[in-house]
């Protein structure tokens, strides 16, 4: 890329990457939302996605740790609050004080996984760990602008989350509304965060090289999410090759 894009053009290119490469297009998502997964496949998805949820605050703390802009830090720290909450387990009726990681554990509870097993990470697919850790390392090692841009998949997440909420409630009798509390809380947070990050990127990517780096950062993040679903699909759907040591469903 050799030409400087306008802010609107940059946003259009970012949205085009989402339209082509976001994991909403992955076959595993169609299975999951369409009610075509077995309970074991839903468990495997929830178990592996837990690792992503658990590492998001680490990712955000790494961004904070290298950010010398106090306005950006003030904004970004709300992500830690969203994910870690105010208390570990607020109990029924006080769920607004819980964080996203805790709410994800309600989901893994709800689909019948032992919480100690989930948190131990023993059953994870290695490919899940490699992909998620790649995201953490990216945020730690690339420029701050690229680190911010890598979260822009959140531009596309509210829609996929609402599909997931509807599809999973309708299609799986082992999934309840309480189990899916994560997905109720998350879209407004994601929208707020994505709007902020998009404005930051548009304002700060002011050379063709910086704009190109921003676009590559979003592609990278799409690759992370896609690789996570590829690994699930390979291990649990087709051809069902579970790697040595990873979670084996009962069904």
Query: Which residues of the chain form contacts with its own copies (CB under 8 A)?
Result: 20-21, 27, 125-127, 129-131, 133-134, 137, 219-220, 222-224, 226-227, 230-231, 233-235, 238-239, 241, 243-245
Tell me how far, at minimum, the Cβ of 19 lies from its own copies, in Å.
Answer: 11
Tell me how far, at minimum, the Cβ of 38 lies from its own copies, in Å.
Answer: 17
CB closer to its own copies out of 137 and 170:
137
Distance, first Cα to last Cα, the chain: 50
Tokens of 241: 């090759």
CB closer to its own copies out of 52 and 200:
52
Tell me how far, at minimum, the Cβ of 178 lies from its own copies, in Å.
Answer: 34
Tokens of 37: 């997964």
CB closer to its own copies out of 131 and 205:
131
Tokens of 203: 């304002």
Contacts of 244 (CB under 8 A, 6+ apart): none
Question: What is the CB-side half-sphere exposure of residue 23 using CA atoms within 13 A?
Answer: 25
Tell me how far, at minimum, the Cβ of 240 lies from its own copies, in Å.
Answer: 10
Distance of CA 60 to the CA centre of its chain: 12
Per-residue exposure over 151-186, b if at least 16 CB sit within 10 Å of its own CB, e if not: bbbbbbbbebbebbbebbeeebeebeeebbbbbebb
Tell me how far, at minimum, the Cβ of 131 lies from its own copies, in Å.
Answer: 5
Which one-letter DSSP state was computed for residue 26? S
Give CA–CA dist 115/47, Å, rounded.
10
CB closer to its own copies out of 165 and 228:
228
Tell me how far, at minimum, the Cβ of 134 lies from its own copies, in Å.
Answer: 4
Residue 219's Cβ-count burial label (10 Å; 0-12, 13-18, 19+) is middle
* Percent composition of the chain: helix, strand, coil (DSSP 3-state, to 5): 75, 0, 25
Tell me how far, at minimum, the Cβ of 2 lies from its own copies, in Å.
Answer: 18
């Amino acid at each position: 890329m050799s030409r400087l894009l306008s802010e609107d053009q940059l946003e259009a290119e970012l949205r085009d990457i989402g339209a082509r490469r976001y994991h909403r297009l992955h076959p595993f998502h169609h299975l999951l939302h369409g009610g075509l997964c077995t309970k074991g496949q839903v468990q495997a998805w929830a178990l592996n996605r837990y690792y992503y949820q658990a590492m998001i605050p680490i990712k955000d703390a790494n961004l904070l740790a290298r950010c010398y802009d106090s306005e950006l830090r003030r904004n970004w720290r709300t992500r830690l609050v969203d994910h870690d909450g105010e208390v570990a387990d607020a109990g029924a009726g006080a769920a607004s004080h819980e964080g996203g990681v805790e709410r994800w554990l309600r989901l893994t509870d709800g689909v019948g996984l032992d919480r100690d097993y989930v948190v131990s990470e023993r059953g994870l697919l290695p490919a899940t760990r490699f992909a998620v850790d790649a995201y953490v390392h990216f945020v730690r090692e690339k420029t701050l602008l690229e680190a911010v841009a890598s979260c822009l998949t959140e531009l596309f997440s509210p829609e996929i989350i609402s599909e997931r909420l509807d599809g999973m409630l309708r299609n799986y009798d082992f999934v309840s509304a309480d189990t899916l509390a994560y997905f109720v809380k998350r879209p407004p947070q994601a929208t707020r965060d994505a709007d902020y990050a998009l404005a930051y990127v548009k304002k700060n990517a002011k050379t063709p090289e910086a704009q190109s780096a921003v676009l590559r950062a979003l592609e990278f993040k799409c690759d992370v999410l896609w690789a996570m679903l590829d690994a699930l699909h390979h291990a649990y759907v087709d051809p069902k090759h579970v790697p040595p040591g990873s979670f084996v469903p009962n069904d």
